Structure formats: C-alpha cells, structure tokens
Homo-oligomer: A and B are copies of this chain.
Amino acid sequence: MLIFYTAGESHGRGIFAFLDGLPAGLTVEHALIDADLSRRQKGYGRGGRMAIEQDRVDVLSGIRGGITLGSPILMAVWNRDFENWEEYMDPWKIVPGRELFTPRPGHADLAGAARFRHTDLRNVLERSSARETAGRVAAGGLLRSFLRCLDIEACSWVTRIGEVAFEGGFDRQERDASSVFCPDSATTSAMEEAIDTVRDQGDTIGGEFKVVLTGLPAGIGSYTQWDQRLDTLVSAHLMSIPGIKAVQIGLGVDCAGLPGSQVHDELVPSVPRRRKSNNAGGMEGGVSNGEPVVVTCTMKPIPTLRKGLASFDLRDGSPAQAQYERSDCCAVPAASVVGEAMAMIAVSKALLLSCLAPDMESLKQAVAAQRAYGESL
C-alpha cells in the first residue's frame, strides 16, 4: 500500500513529501524529479516568485546509492527565500508582522479560518498555498522512475486557456517547446495572447489540461468496492489539486449528449485485442482496460486579482478589497505538471493494491517464491 502525504508552509523551511510503501530496489533517476520540479515553476503567466525558487529535491531518507530501500522516503524542497521569512515563520517565537486580515475570495482564507479558528489568515494561506504542490511534483517525479520501470508512461498537456482550445494530440517535444505546455506552436501563441489580455486587465484566467497514462495493464483498480475503483482514485487525486473544479474521464461531459452506440468502445478482432475507440478513457467498471488512461481537468482562474475583489476586514467586518500578494495570472501550465504527478500517484497506488494477487494461483506462486527465497538465505 502506497502512502503519500505532504507537509510544509509556503514561506516556511520548505515543502516535504512523504512516500511509504514502494518496493525496495527501484533505481530512481534524480534528474527526473528535478526536471518535474523545474517544469512546475515554468509556464507563461507566472509571476516573479518562480525565479527565486528554482526548486530542487533533497532526499532525506529512503534512497541510498540511487536505489529505494523499502524504507519510507522523505523528500524536501527547501525554500530558497526562507531567510526573508525566517523570523515570521519561527516555530517557537511570535514575531509580529505579515499578518493578513482580509480573506481573498476563491482562496481558502475565509473557509480555512472557519475550519481552524485562525484569526491571522497567514496561518491558513501558508499551508493552502499552491506552493504545496511542489511536494506533490517531487513525489510524482520519483514515481516516474517507478512507472517507467514498469513500462508505464505519463504525460500531460494544456488543452485550453480561456477561450483558446487545442484538440490535437500529444507531442512531447512540441509541449516542452511551448511556453504554456501546449503541443502546438500556433495555439501557444494564441494562449499567450489570451494571458496577456487578462493580465493587462488586472484579471486572471483558467483553462484545461489532459493527463494520459499509457502502458497500464488491464485489470488495475477494482469494481468490487467503491473506494478501490481506479476512477475513484484518479478523480480524488486530481480534484485535490488547488483550483481544479472538474475532472473528466475519457469523453467526460460529452457522454451526456451521445447515444450508447457512439460512446462504448467496441472490441475488434486483433492481436493483441484492441478497441475501435477509447471514449472510456481506459477504464470500464472502475478497472483499467488496457487502453490509455485519459483524464481532463478544469482549473479555475487564479483567485488573486490585481484589480481586487470585494471582501472585508476580519477584525471589524468593514468592507475591504482583497490584497494582491503574488502576480501569477495563469497557472494552468503548472497545474498540468501537478496533475501528471497526482495521476502517477493514483495509478501507482492502484497498481500496488490490485495487480499483485489477482487470483489465488498468483498468490500461491508469490508466497512459494517468498518461502523459497527465505530458505535460500
């Protein structure tokens, strides 16, 4: 069973990712993790903080000589700007300054204050900040080595920014060349333009991205219990990304308007057996069917607007404009990297839960092998 958590505040020591349950003996490619961390920081529409950060992973436990030990893995993405925040974020001393009292609509600020009874909203936003996703991406970057070793590959790309949509297919080189992670240069330009327009207006903009996993064997996940389904796991992991408001599998919302005969993926005679289409997005009955897993996520616009939003001061209830703290005006490209990471986490969990003892015969063999191994030592 794979366990994944993060810890860390946005302006604290760093963001941390905890992963327990990976097999021992996995060769982890260091560079893959840093590459994903770096990708998360890019994307047209980001503000100035990205330049400061230059995230790098620092493995604190569980990997030795490039190989997983079977022990819990703890990774840090240290905050390179910490010295400017150290006194305000000190775990033991209270240092006044940098308090926030005006909840920003669309952020966790007000709901989070209700959750934990915080009066200084900094105590909410430090953890609810999207900076936390650096931990998710570090975990995803590590699992990329895991999945590759199993011949499973994940990719993501931006399919929409505002009104500009892209319906073509994936091309890794094109995507990596695109400032918005969209594998098409013309669309990239149009998306940049859409971002420029809202930035000029002091506004922000959302969009959509797709995550696709190829190579996943049929039979991962399970139809037998609601919480073991692959669609349950995938949607939970993706909807948990800050700003995501919709998750679609395969055809998604377009299923509503089509007759069954145009939705279901017929089986054609071939070796290996294939489908005529992949409208199901690689899952039937909550179980992978051997086709690529295809998920689409919608991200809302960033809730911090230069032109401000109506709010109030928590201390006295008086009307106030929400403060403007950072300058991103579009985070869809970054979110697509986080989505890829979360999809890899979800699929890795499903794999470790369901692929190992599909039936008693497989388990008998695994246990016999384990017994023989123990006796051979």
Between-chain CB contacts (< 8 Å), 9 pairs? A7-B61, A25-B359, A203-B260, A218-B375, A248-B253, A252-B298, A253-B298, A261-B305, A264-B301
The interface-forming segment of A47-55, A109-117, A168-176, A177-185 is A109-117
- Counting every copy of the chain, the complex holds 4
Question: Which of B69, B229, B269, B367 has a CB less than 8 Å from the CB of A355?
Answer: B367
The reply to whether B226 and A288 form a contact with Cβ atoms under 8 Å apart is no
Q: Is A221 an interface residue (CB 8 A)?
A: yes
Q: Is the CB of A261 within 8 A of B123?
A: no
| Interface pairs A-B: 9 shortest CB-CB | A108-B285, A218-B374, A114-B219, A260-B301, A204-B260, A106-B264, A356-B356, A65-B94, A236-B236
Q: How far is the CB of A232 from chain B (nearest CB, A)?
A: 4
Cβ-based interface call for A327 (8 A): no
Measured CB to CB, the nearest residue on chain B to A236 is B236
Task: Known contacts A64-B89, A287-B112; decide if A370 and B219 are in contact (CB<8 Å).
Answer: yes
Question: Known: A64-B90, A91-B66. Contact between A260 and B106, CB under 8 A?
Answer: yes
1/0 per residue, CB under 8 A from B, across A276-295: the answer is: 10001101111111100000
A239, CB-defined interface residue at 8 Å: yes
B110 and A284 contact, CB distance less than 8 A:
yes
Q: Among A285, A351, A353, find the residue whose CB has the most chain B CB atoms closer than 10 A.
A: A285
